[in-house]
Amino acid sequence: MSRPAPLSGFPELLPRQRIVEQRVIEQLSRTFELHGFASISTRAVEPLDQLLRKGETSKEVYVLRRLQAEEGDSSDSGLGLHFDLTVPLARYVLENAGKLQFPFRRYQIQPCWRGERPQDGRFREFWQADIDVVNRDDLPGHYEVELPLVIGDALRSLPIPAMRMHVNNRKLSQGFFRGVGLSDPMAAVRIIDKIGKIGPNGVSKLLTETLSATDAQIKLCLELAAITTEDQSFVDRVQALGVVDPMLDEGLAELSAVVGAAAVDAPGLVVADLSIARGLDYYTGTVYETFMTGYERLGSVCSGGRYDNLASDGKNRFPGVGLSIGVSRILVPLLNQNVLSASREVPTCVLVALPDTESRRDCDRIARSLRSRGIAAEVAPAAQKYGKQIRFAERRGIPYVWFPGEADQPGEVRDIRSGDQVGADVDTWTPPESDLRPTVG
């Protein structure tokens, strides 16, 4: 069999890298739970009509098909792998509304699949970490203020570069575009969302071709998109443009609350950026895009917003607000550049040295005793010279080697980093807390 080639867009991590990913997922879970979010897990597939009903995503969906399906077998037809965790959440809420307590605070950390062109920070299979608050009928605006602060806590707890969250409000944008007289404000939102890719000239051209916008309208739209402030001064700058609309006023007030709270509770985290639009149709209020300092080329690594109409059963409406962290988008580039690493490539804290083949069962008992007290341990694979067994531990980053004592004598444990070796009782010896598990940094 020839050596297999890697599949582009489907990252696979080495053991040391996977430890980093696991620790990040554990820390995110811990932070979300500290804020009262409950974990859920949803199936990998959703009906295509649900996956395609919000926004332009048809080119991104992987369709499910069974290779040996018989002619006429349509049991898997119309199913696709989920490309995010928001659409599955909407379906989950509708199916379980009678069993959930509202407001429903959920977090979800799972793989997703998206059929886009692989590039730096963008993959076809990737991990996402989402938090959402969903309520029945109405969702108070304070949740739009709370969620970026939760995400800020989560991201600051990770050993990664600093983050900056850019926020805007759909009501602000749509109200402004309506106020300047554009025929389709929602189309204008989608066009402005492209400004980072095609620039002001490209946006001007699209506004002209798509909406027959005048030069005066285009000028106002570009002036709005150019407003960026770290405080609530954006309100005065927008009002100075002279555009009037009730929805605009509502959006200004909502965004001002988000930016004002973050300035007090998480200084430096949030910036008002009125070019942020978020292309998905279902957003209706605050929208968020987060960029990693020094890695802005990756695009937004944590995005989301408020949605009022994503989930409805005809009688009840379930508005929500959520944010999604691109775990793989953040970690894979950092891991590949060795910016992040784990202190060892195995969980093992202690390698029990094997004096001879006949001692393996005794050594297994030592390892079991260590494990019973929460110390990860394994027995050396072969009864080689102790020098070779120590090098085996060194190559894997295992910090301690346990040398069994003869007969009823206690053993000795060596810190192979310092060379210190002391007598130790297998029933009482404990390493420093920092050595129990691999550290990440």
Residue 287: φ, ψ to 5°:
-125, 150
- Please tell me the number of Cα atoms within 13 Å of 69 on its side-chain side: 11
Q: Is 128 annotated as a binding residue?
A: yes
**Identity at 133, one-letter amino acid code:** V
The end-to-end CA distance of the chain, in Å, is 38
**Quick count: other Cβ atoms within 10 Å of Cβ 269?**
22
Return d(Cα 297, Cα 51) in angstroms, integer: 28
- Taken as a whole, the chain contains a residue count of 441
Q: In this structure, are residues 192 and 237 in contact, taking their beta carbons and an 8 Å threshold?
A: no
User: What are the contacts of 185-190 at 24+ separation with CB within 8 A?
Assistant: 186/281, 187/211, 188/213, 188/221, 189/277, 190/277, 190/279
Return d(Cα 23, Cα 417) in angstroms, integer: 23
Q: Is 86 annotated as a binding residue?
A: yes
Short-list 204, 211, 209, CA closest to 187:
211
Return d(Cα 225, Cα 240) in angstroms, integer: 14
Q: Is 331 annotated as a binding residue?
A: no
Q: In this structure, are residues 153 and 366 in contact, taking their beta carbons and an 8 Å threshold?
A: no
Q: Is 215 annotated as a binding residue?
A: no
Sign, Cα dihedral of 256, 156, 104, 84: positive
Q: Which residue has the tokens 């407001």?
A: 103
Q: Is 178 annotated as a binding residue?
A: no
Q: Is 132 annotated as a binding residue?
A: yes
DSSP 265-314: HSTTTEEEETT---S-TT--SEEEEEEETT-GGG--SEEEEEESSS-B-S
Return d(Cα 429, Cα 411) in angstroms, integer: 10
Q: Measuring CA to CA, how many Å separate 339 from each of 156, 235, 278, 331, 343?
A: 16, 39, 29, 9, 13
Return d(Cα 15, Cα 330) in angstroms, integer: 18
Q: Is 16 annotated as a binding residue?
A: no
What's the farthest any 2 CA atoms get from each other in the chain? Answer: 93
Binding-site annotation, residues = 84-86, 114, 128, 132, 278, 282-283
Instruction: Indicate the annotated binding residues for L-histidine.
Output: 84-86, 114, 128, 132, 278, 282-283
